[in-house]
Structure 1
Amino acid sequence: MTGPAVLPRPSRGRRVWAHTWRLAVAVLVGVVVGVATYGVTLEEQPGRADSPGLMLWFLLDLVCMVVCAVLYVARRQAPLAVTGAVITVGTFSTFSAGITTLAVLSLATRRRWAEIVPVGLLWCGATLVGERAISNHLTDPGREMAHMDLTVLVVQAVYLALVVVTGMFIGGRRALVASLREQAAIARREADARDDGARAAERNRIAREMHDVLAHRLSLVALHSGALEYRAGLDPEQVRETAAVVRENAHEALGELREVLGLLRDTTATDEQSRPQPTFAQVDELLDGTRAAGSPVTFVLDRVGEDDLARLPASTSRHLYRVVQETLTNARKHAPGAPVHVRLHGAPGERIALEVTNPVPTTAPTTALPTSGWGLTGLAERLDLTGGRLEAGRQPDGTFVVRASLPWVVPAEEPVTESSGV
C-alpha cells in the first residue's frame, strides 16, 4: 500500500539561502532609496557636495544599515526586541529602509497582535522623527514640517498595513504548509499502522488455518508412528493396518496443505471462506479417527435432534467442528488412550453448547507429541468474534473440560420448533 507523500522539509542550505537572498534584496532596496535621496539632495543643493555634515550623515547612514543587517540576522533569538532595535536604529537611515521593512514583515508572519501593535506604533513614531531629522539635516534644512506630519503619518499607516497584511499572509501560508506536512506524516503513520495490522492479521489467519488443517492429521500420524516404534509385539496384519492409517492421514494432510497453500497464493482470496470448510456434519469422521487411534469416544446429543443440526448456520457448524477437532487432538496429545466424552446441547434461537471431557493422566505420556500451545487460544479468538465463548481447564475431579457455546441464530423465515431429541 502506498501512503500519502510526505512534504520534505527544506534543507539547511535552502533555509540559509532563503534568508540570504531576502536580506540581499532588502539591502538593495535600501541602497536604491538612499542613493535616490542623496542624489535628489545634491541635485537641488549642488553646493553641499563637499559639506562635512553631509559626508558625516552619509557615513552614519551606512553604519546604521550595517547594524540593522546584523540585528536582522540575529532576530530569531528575540524577534520583538530585535525588530524594535532595527526600527530604532533605522530611524535616521535611508539605507536601512529595506531592512526595516523586512524586519517588520518577518515579525508579522508570527501573526501575534501583541507584537504587531507595539511595533507598528513604534514604526509610525520613528517615521515621523526620522522624516523631520532627514528633512532638517539633509534634504531641506530650515523648512517648516508641521503641515507634513499628517501626510507622513497617513502614508506610513497605509504602508504599515500593507506590510502587516503581507506578513500575515506569508505566515498563514507557512502554517498551512506545516499543517499539511504534519497531516501527511500522520496519514503515513496511520497507513503504516494499517499495513502492520493487516500483515499481523494475515499471519494470524495463516497460522490458524495451518493449525486447524494439519494439527489433527499430523497428530494421528505421530501417534500411529509411535505405536509402530514402541510396540514390538504387533503381528504383520496390525503393522499393515497401522501403516495404512499413517499413510492415509499423511496423504490427507498433504492434500489439505496443498489447498491451504493454494489459498495463500491466490491474491483474490481474502478470507478463510475462500476454500471449502468442514462443518459439524463431518464430525463422525473425527470421532472414527480418534477411536481408530485407540481413544474411546462417546458422543451424546442432549435435547438436540439430527434435523436441528442440519439447519445450523454454516459458520456455527464450522466453529463447532473446529472445537471438536482441537479438543480431540489435545486429548490424543496429552492423554493418549483415555476415554473422551463429547456432549452437545442447546436450542434453536438460543445458544448451542459443546462440552468435551477427558481424564487427565497422573503421569506424562511416554512419547509426548509436539504442541504449539496456542490451539485453545485460537479457538477462543474464533468464538469471541462470533459472540461465543470458550472455557477450558482442569476440574477438581481430575478431568479436563472444554466448554464452548455459540449463538444459535434461526433464519427469519424458519419458525423455531421443539427439538425431537435423541
Structure 2
Amino acid sequence: MKSAAVKPAPWQEPAVTPDPQVDPLPEDAHPGPDVAHVASVGIPAAGMPAGGTGRRWLVTALTALAFVLGPLGALLVYGVASLALQSGSADMADFPFTDSQLLVMTIVDVGVGLVAVALLPFALRRAPESQVLEAGHDPGTPQLKEPTSALVVALVIGLMVAFSSAASLAWFIAVISISSRGIRKWLYWIPPVALISVMTSFFVFPVQTDIWQALMVGALSMAMTALPMVIGLLRWSRRRQIRALRSEAATAHREAQAVIRAEQARAEKTRAEERTRIAREMHDTLSHRLALISTYAGALDYRDDLDPETVRSTARLVQQTASTASAELRTVLDVLREDPTDTRPEPDLTQVDSLLAQVRATGVQVTNTVQRSGLEQLPDTTSRTLYRMVQEALTNAVKHAPGAPVDIKWGGTEDQVELTVTNPLTAPKGRAKAMGQSSGFGLIGLDERARALGGNVRTTTSQDAFRLEATVPCRN
C-alpha cells in the first residue's frame, strides 16, 4: 500500500530541500573553518536541509494560545462588568448596557475573537528560507517573496479588535510576525490600522469617558501595538544574522568544492604529463636500440654470402645492442621510480659520435656536416634535446630505409641551433624494412621537447626523401 504524501497546510512553511546545484563535500575533504563554525552553532549551511517542523509546531502553539487566552480574557472582562452592574457599583450613565445587551456583546466578542484566531495561521505564513538563499541576494535585504496574503489577513485581524477584545492576542501575535519579516512598507500599515481600530471601538462601545481617558486608552492601545513591532524587529535582526551566516557557509562550501575540483584537475594533468613522459622516455631509449637489433638481424637473414667471422661479429653487435637496451630500460625504470641515488646523466651531443658509429656499423652511410661551432658548449637541456632529435631521425631512417644514406647538417646562430636530417624514403635494393609502420610518437615527442625550449620541429616528405628540420634555442 502506497503511503499518501502529506500536503502542508496553507500557513505551514514548505520543507526546504537541498540545493541540487551545490554538491556535497567528499568525505575526505575538510569543509573549511566557515562551514565548521556554522555547523558548531547549529545553523544549516546551503545544501543542508533546514527543518520546518519546529515552525509548524510554533504556529500551532501560538494559535492554541490565542484560542484559549483570547476568549478567556474577553469572558473575564464581561464577567467583571456584569458583576459590577448587578452589584450597582457601576454608574449606568457611564456604562449604558443592560444584562441582555452585555450577554449579546460577550457572544459577539468571543465569536469574532474565534474568527480572528482561525485567521491567525494565515497571517503567520512565511516564505521558506530556501527561497531567500536560492535567490542569490544579500541575506540582509528583505525579499518580496513573502506572501502578501499574510499582511492582508493580519490587518483584518487588527480591524476585528475594534469589535472583539478576544482578538487582541491574535493581533499581538500577527504584528510580531509581520514586523519580523523586515519589509519596511508592511510596517507602515500597522499603526494606522491600530488607530482606526481604537477609534472605531469608541463608537461600537459608547462608554461615557472624558477626553483624557480616551487619549489614555488610545495611547495604551498604540503602546500595545508598538511592543509587538519592537519584538518583531528584534526577531528580524536575528534572522538576518542567521541568513548572513548561512550565506557565508554556502560561499565557503562552494570555495571548498572549487579547491577540490582544482586539485583533482591538477592531479589529472600531472598524471597525463607523467604518462607522456614515460612514453617519451621509453621511446627514446628503446626504439633506437630495437631498430638497430632489427637491422642487424635483417642483415643476417638476407645475406647468405657472409663469412663466419662477419656473422659472429654481427651477432656480437646484436648482443651488445640488446644489453645496452636492457641497461637503458633499467635506467628509465630507476628514473621513473625517482631513485635519488641515480645520478647517471642523459646522453647529449658529446656522445653523438658514438651514436653515429653504432648506426654506421649497420652498414648505413651517415654524413655529418657541422657548419656551426661550439656544439659541445651548448646548455645541457639544449644538448640533450638535440641528441634525442638525431637519435630519433636515425632510428626512423634505419626503420623505414635500412642501408639508405643519411645526411645530417648543423647550422644556426649564436642563440639557436638548426638541425637538418635527410634520408631516402625507400631502402636500397636487396634490403627490407627493419620494422613495421611508425606510430608517430617519436616525432610528437621531439616536437614537445622543442616547444618546451621555445623551438620547433618541421617534417617534410618529397617524392623520394624525408626531411626533418629542427630549430632549438640555446638555453636551459
Alignment partners' CA distance in 2, 1:184 and 1:141: 71
Alignment partners' CA distance in 1, 2:64 and 2:332: 79
TM-score of the pair, normalised by structure 2: 0.70
Alignment partners' CA distance in 2, 1:119 and 1:162: 16
Q: Relative to structure 2, which stretch is displaced further, 37-46 or 172-181?
A: 37-46
Instruction: For residue 79 of structure 1, give the secondary structure of its aligned residue in structure 2.
Output: coil
Aligned partner of 2:277 among 199, 205, 214: 205
Alignment partners' CA distance in 2, 1:366 and 1:178: 65
Instruction: For residue 15 of structure 1, give the secondary structure of its aligned residue in structure 2.
Output: coil
Match of 2:453 in 1: 386
Aligned partner of 1:187 among 251, 254, 259: 259
- How far residue 299 of structure 1 moved from its aligned partner, in angstroms, is 0.9
Alignment partners' CA distance in 1, 2:228 and 2:113: 24
Alignment partners' CA distance in 2, 1:275 and 1:172: 60
CA gap 1:351/1:66 in 2 versus in 1, 3 angstroms: closer
Alignment partners' CA distance in 2, 1:67 and 1:187: 45
- Please show how residues 76-91 of structure 1 align to structure 2 within 5 Å: 79-85=146-152, 87-88=154-155, 90-91=157-158
Alignment partners' CA distance in 2, 1:266 and 1:39: 86
Aligned partner of 1:247 among 308, 314, 319: 319
What are the superposed Cα offsets for residues 224-275 of structure 1, whole Å, 9 maximum, x if unpaired?
Answer: 2233334444433333222222221111111111111122223779xxx975
CA gap 1:3/1:67 in 2 versus in 1, 3 angstroms: closer
Q: For structure 2, list consecutive stretches of 5 or more residues without a partner in the other structure.
A: 1-25, 83-102, 132-143, 161-166
Q: Relative to structure 2, which stretch is displaced further, 128-137 or 329-338?
A: 128-137
Aligned partner of 1:357 among 411, 422, 426: 422
Aligned partner of 2:49 among 15, 18, 22: 15
Instruction: For residue 364 of structure 2, give the secondary structure of its aligned residue in structure 1.
Output: coil
Match of 2:411 in 1: 345
Match of 1:291 in 2: 360
**Amino acid of the structure 2 residue aligned with 1:176:** E
Alignment partners' CA distance in 2, 1:300 and 1:319: 19
Alignment partners' CA distance in 2, 1:169 and 1:324: 70
CA gap 1:65/1:150 in 2 versus in 1, 3 angstroms: closer
Match of 2:444 in 1: 377
- How far residue 380 of structure 1 moved from its aligned partner, in angstroms, is 1.1
- How far residue 312 of structure 1 moved from its aligned partner, in angstroms, is 1.5
Alignment partners' CA distance in 2, 1:222 and 1:216: 10
- Mapped contact 2:409–2:421 kept (Cα < 8 A): yes
Match of 1:158 in 2: 230
What are the superposed Cα offsets for residues 57-106 of structure 1, whole Å, 9 maximum, x if unpaired?
Answer: 3421331134446x44889695343443453455455347557645664x
- Mapped contact 1:301–1:344 kept (Cα < 8 A): yes
- How far residue 327 of structure 1 moved from its aligned partner, in angstroms, is 0.7
What are the superposed Cα offsets for residues 382-408 of structure 1, whole Å, 9 maximum, x if unpaired?
Answer: 111112222111246x32221112223
Instruction: For residue 189 of structure 2, give the secondary structure of its aligned residue in structure 1.
Output: helix
- Mapped contact 1:42–1:48 kept (Cα < 8 A): no
Q: CA RMSD in A?
A: 4.0
Alignment partners' CA distance in 2, 1:211 and 1:141: 110
Query: Who wins on radius of gyration, i.e. which is larger?
Result: 2
- How far residue 3 of structure 1 moved from its aligned partner, in angstroms, is 5.4
- How far residue 374 of structure 1 moved from its aligned partner, in angstroms, is 1.6
Match of 1:413 in 2: none
Match of 1:55 in 2: 110
CA gap 1:259/1:173 in 2 versus in 1, 3 angstroms: same
Instruction: Determine if the alignment matches structure 1 residue 330 to structure 2 residue 364.
Output: no
What are the superposed Cα offsets for residues 184-215 of structure 1, whole Å, 9 maximum, x if unpaired?
Answer: 22222111111111111111111111111111
- How far residue 164 of structure 1 moved from its aligned partner, in angstroms, is 3.1
Size of the aligned set, in residue pairs, is 391
CA gap 1:275/1:146 in 2 versus in 1, 3 angstroms: farther
Aligned partner of 2:474 among 387, 391, 408: 408
Instruction: For residue 314 of structure 2, give the secondary structure of its aligned residue in structure 1.
Output: helix
More helix by share: 1
- Mapped contact 1:26–1:98 kept (Cα < 8 A): no
Alignment partners' CA distance in 2, 1:258 and 1:316: 24
Alignment partners' CA distance in 1, 2:222 and 2:47: 45
